[in-house]
């Protein structure tokens, strides 16, 4: 082949070396896994979601294994936006692309976290995690109500000039409608999906396994749901999409790109193999070369639909 493969993609104004990121909450603040993976090998990483103040999270048990998946109820545990800027960012080597994730319980607080991240040199973009219970709506997630989601995107969009990704909750009837809300309010891109709400029970104690009762289901089990939602969202909007959910191999990642994602995030799979994101990046490149692509970006949306009927 003449030209080398171009692996770069543009995720709503965030220039990525390749389309593989690690997902929020699954790669810490970026330096925990330095022994296993050089983050400069992948497109970038999304840091653990940040709140205005440091938060302690839920009591244990916080995790439970399920068939091909896991439930988590970590809740808001994080060091807070200020400690992130002060302590965590400087610990990262130059050349690592960092996306800061933000979640809060009120829209104003979301906006305030975004403001604090403005002008921080190492932050390439912000991901707004809309899967957080909205206190004022009695615990319903921000991302479950179109009007609340619209207000959240509007407020955070105003609060920062950085590329703004909105991470959607999968616990909705119509993901395409939610994607359109984000596009309408000026989001630079959409990340999906966050964990699916689930429950696991211990029949011997007759209690939920998690201290919190409900938790978020992640891992390979949810991949078909995530892929469907990415495909639906990609058909509904023009802003780029970052596909998330159960990705554990390059083949999984390629499926999301074919369904219309510009980039992907690897979550739960990091726990099993902390170097997996690098292997996925290499595997996507190998796939693209094997199939005669010059640019990995061209994989986006290359799914051929059945002629008989559209899915």
Partner 1 sequence: MAEVGKAPKAPRSEPQASGVHPGGLPKPIRVDAEVIENRPEGGANLRLRLRVRGWPGFRPGQFVMLSPGARTSVERSDPLLPRPMAVFRERPHPDGAEVEILYKRVGRGTRLLAETLPGQALRMVGPLGRAFPAPAAGERALLVAGGTGIASVYQLAAGIPGRERVEVLLGARTGADLMGEADFAALGVALRVATEDGSRGERGLVTALLEGSLAGPGVARVYTCGPKPMMERVAQLAAAAGCACVVSLENHMACGFGVCLGCAAPLSAGGYALVCRDGPAFDASAIAWGALP
Ligand X SMILES: Cc1cc2nc3c(=O)[nH]c(=O)nc-3n(C[C@H](O)[C@H](O)[C@H](O)COP(=O)(O)O)c2cc1C
Just list the catalytic residues. Answer: 132
Residue placing its CB nearer to ligand X in the complex, 48 or 300:
48
Told to check if 88 binds ligand X by CB under 6 A, we report: no
Q: Please report whether residue 199 would count as binding its own copies according to CB under 8 A.
A: yes
Residues 106, 81 contacting (CB under 8 angstroms): no
Per rule CB under 8 A, is residue 219 in the interface with partner 1?
yes
Find the binder of ligand X among 194, 230, 236, 252 (CB under 6 A): 194
| Binding partner of residue 167 among its own copies, partner 1, ligand X, none, CB cut-off 5 to 8 Å per kind | ligand X
Nearest to 66, CA basis, from 205, 204, 275, 222: 222
Which residue, 2, 52, 62, 12, is CA-closest to 211? 62
Q: Using CA of residue 81, residue 109, residue 146, residue 124, what is the dihedral sign?
A: negative
- Report the DSSP beta bridge partners of residue 15: 10
Contacts of 9 (CB under 8 A, 6+ apart): 16, 18, 19, 43, 262, 263, 296, 297, 300
Stretch that binds partner 1, among 154-162, 224-232, 268-276, 285-293 (CB under 8 A): 268-276
If the CB atoms of residues 57 and 291 are measured against ligand X, the closer one turns out to be 57
User: Given the complex with partner 1, which of 48 and 167 has the nearer CB atom?
Assistant: 48
172 binds its own copies (CB under 8 A): yes
Tokens 């692509």 found at: 293
Three-class HEC string of 194-251: CCEEEECEECCCCEECECCEEEEEECHHHHHHHHHHHHHHHHHCCCCEEEECCCCCHH
Say whether the peptide bond before residue 104 is cis (omega within 30 degrees of 0): no
When asked if residue 245 is in the footprint of ligand X (CB under 6 A), the reply is: yes
Q: How far apart are CA 245 and CA 303, in angstroms?
A: 18
**What does 251 bind: partner 1, its own copies, ligand X, none (CB cut-off 5 to 8 Å by kind)?**
its own copies
Site for partner 1 in 145-174 (CB under 8 A): none
Closest contact distance (angstroms) between CB of 18 and its own copies is 17
| Binding-site ranges for partner 1 (CB under 8 A) | 25-28, 31-33, 35-36, 48, 56-70, 72, 74, 77, 91, 211, 219-221, 248-249, 268, 270-275
| Binding-site ranges for ligand X (CB under 6 A) | 23-26, 48-49, 72, 74, 101, 129, 167, 194-195, 218-219, 222, 244-247, 266-269
């Amino acid at each position: 082949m003449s030209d080398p493969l171009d692996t770069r993609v543009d995720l709503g104004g965030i220039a990525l070396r390749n389309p593989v990121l690690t997902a929020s909450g699954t790669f810490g603040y970026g330096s925990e896994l330095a022994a296993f993976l050089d983050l400069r090998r992948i497109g970038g990483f999304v840091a653990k979601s940040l709140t205005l103040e440091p938060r302690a999270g839920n009591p244990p048990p916080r995790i439970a294994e399920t068939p091909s998946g896991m439930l988590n109820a970590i809740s808001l545990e994080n060091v807070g936006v200020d400690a992130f800027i002060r302590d965590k960012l400087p610990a990262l080597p130059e050349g690592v692309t960092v996306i800061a994730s933000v979640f809060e319980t009120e829209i104003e607080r979301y906006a305030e976290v975004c403001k604090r991240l403005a002008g921080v040199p190492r932050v390439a973009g912000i991901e707004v995690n809309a899967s957080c219970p909205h206190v004022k709506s009695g615990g319903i997630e921000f991302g479950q109500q179109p009007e609340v989601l619209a207000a959240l995107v509007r407020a955070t969009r105003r609060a920062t000039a950085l590329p703004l990704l909105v991470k959607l909750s999968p616990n909705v009837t119509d993901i395409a409608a939610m994607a359109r809300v984000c596009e309408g309010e000026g989001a630079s891109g959409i990340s999906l999906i966050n964990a699916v709400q689930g429950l696991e029970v211990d029949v011997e104690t007759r209690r939920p396994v998690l201290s919190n009762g409900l938790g978020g289901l992640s891992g390979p089990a949810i991949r078909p749901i995530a892929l469907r939602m990415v495909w639906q969202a990609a058909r509904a909007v023009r802003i780029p999409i970052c596909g998330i959910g159960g990705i554990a191999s390059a083949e999984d990642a390629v499926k999301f790109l074919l369904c219309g994602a510009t980039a992907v995030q690897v979550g739960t799979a990091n726990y099993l193999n902390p170097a997996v994101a690098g292997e996925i990046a290499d595997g996507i490149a190998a796939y693209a070369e094997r199939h005669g692509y010059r640019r990995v970006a061209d994989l986006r949306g290359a799914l051929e639909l059945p002629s008989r009927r559209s899915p």
